[in-house]
């Protein structure tokens, strides 16, 4: 995957437009190599902020599932822990990045009429609650709501009260099935276009679908290593081109 990133850069993606998030236990060498190339890097705080400082990462990154209707004691404890992580990240100058997910309850789905609307509203509410608790990440990452109006509202909330948080839309990286190449699914393309033309959204966070299939094909002997690297690089290049072309061709809403 890292070789796919470097190949994509060699083919024209600007270093400033790409970043790497890897777990420090499995990805230490990759994180160090990325920093040597002046790439933006992020890692989880599992081994402590001091360890992240040794790796010279740019962001302390966490994945978080949070619902404002979770049991009060558990919710309070989680918010207190996140506040500590947020404060330490700021002190250590390794700002916080949160990939946030919300799974609405049955009661919430019934209240708002359907799963999609319930999830969108609870995402917005979750960000508000985290901000009220003093958790102020430099970057939020969310799976996009089905309605672009909700996406714009969440982007606005992330930057409320003169905050300068960036928002990323998460895409799985899934490709069209039944082929070896890098053709991106139409639903993924649409999310990239929305990210490019929505005010307050800085880019996309690409999930393991961008490389998983190619790694499996490589390990099963379907394709060679060089082919896996090539198609990963091509996939990243396609995503970058869709984003850049969409932002250039459209007024940012």
Distance CA 3, CA 5 (A): 5
Share of the chain above pLDDT 70, in %: 91
With CA atoms as reference, report the closest residue to 238 among 172, 199, 192.
Answer: 192
- Give every CB contact of residue 35 below 8 A, 6+ residues apart in sequence: 41, 55, 56, 57
pLDDT at 184 (0 to 100): 80
pLDDT at 24 (0 to 100): 77
> What is the Cα Rg of the chain in Å?
19
With CA atoms as reference, report the closest residue to 154 among 185, 131, 187.
Answer: 131
Model confidence over 86-108: pLDDT tens digits?
A: 888 888 888 999 999 999 999 99
pLDDT at 21 (0 to 100): 93
Share of the chain above pLDDT 90, in %: 64
Q: What is the DSSP letter of 175?
A: B
pLDDT at 161 (0 to 100): 85
Model confidence over 101-135: pLDDT tens digits?
A: 999 999 999 999 999 999 999 999 999 999 999 99
Neighbours of 87 (CB within 10 A): 14
- Work out the burial of residue 165: count CB atoms within 10 Å of its CB; fewer than 13 is exposed, 13-18 middle, 19 or more buried: buried
pLDDT at 176 (0 to 100): 53
Q: 38 pLDDT band (50/70/90 cuts)? A: very high
Name the strand (E) or helix (H) holding 187: helix 186-197
Cα 60-14-51 angle, rounded to 5 deg: 20
pLDDT at 65 (0 to 100): 93
* Average pLDDT, integer, range 190-218: 89
pLDDT at 174 (0 to 100): 64
Model confidence over 187-203: pLDDT tens digits?
A: 889 999 999 999 999 99
In the chain, the domains with their CATH numbers are 2-246 (3.20.20.70)
pLDDT at 85 (0 to 100): 87
* Average pLDDT, integer, range 13-39: 89
Distance CA 7, CA 231 (A): 10
Orientation angle between helical segments 115-132 and 72-91, nearest 10 degrees: 60
* Average pLDDT, integer, range 241-248: 91
Handedness of CA 58, 61, 18, 136 (dihedral sign): negative
Q: What is the DSSP letter of 17?
A: G
pLDDT at 215 (0 to 100): 86
Q: What is the mean pLDDT of the chain?
A: 88
SS3 132: helix
């Amino acid at each position: 995957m890292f070789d796919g990133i470097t190949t994509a850069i060699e083919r024209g993606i600007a270093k400033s437009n790409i970043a790497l998030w890897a777990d420090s236990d499995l990805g230490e060498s990759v994180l160090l190599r990325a920093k040597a190339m002046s790439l933006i890097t992020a890692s989880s705080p599992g081994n402590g902020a001091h360890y992240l400082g040794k790796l010279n990462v740019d962001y302390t990154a966490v994945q978080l599932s949070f619902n404002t209707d979770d049991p009060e004691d558990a919710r309070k404890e989680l918010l207190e822990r996140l506040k500590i992580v947020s404060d330490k990240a700021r002190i250590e100058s390794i700002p916080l990045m949160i990939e946030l997910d919300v799974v609405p309850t049955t009661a919430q789905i019934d209240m708002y009429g359907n799963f999609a609307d319930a999830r969108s509203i609870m995402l917005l509410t979750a960000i508000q609650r985290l901000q009220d608790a003093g958790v102020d990440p430099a970057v939020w990452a969310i799976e996009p709501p089905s309605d672009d109006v909700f996406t714009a509202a969440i982007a606005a909330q992330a930057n409320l009260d003169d905050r300068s948080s960036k928002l990323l839309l998460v895409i799985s990286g899934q490709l069209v099935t039944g082929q070896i190449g890098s053709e991106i699914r139409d639903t993924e393309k649409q999310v990239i276009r929305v990210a490019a033309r929505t005010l307050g959204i800085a880019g996309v966070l690409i999930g393991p679908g961008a490389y998983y299939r190619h790694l499996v094909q490589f390990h099963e002997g379907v394709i060679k290593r060089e082919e896996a690297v090539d198609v990963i690089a091509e996939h990243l290049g396609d995503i970058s081109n869709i984003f850049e072309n969409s932002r250039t061709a459209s007024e940012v809403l």
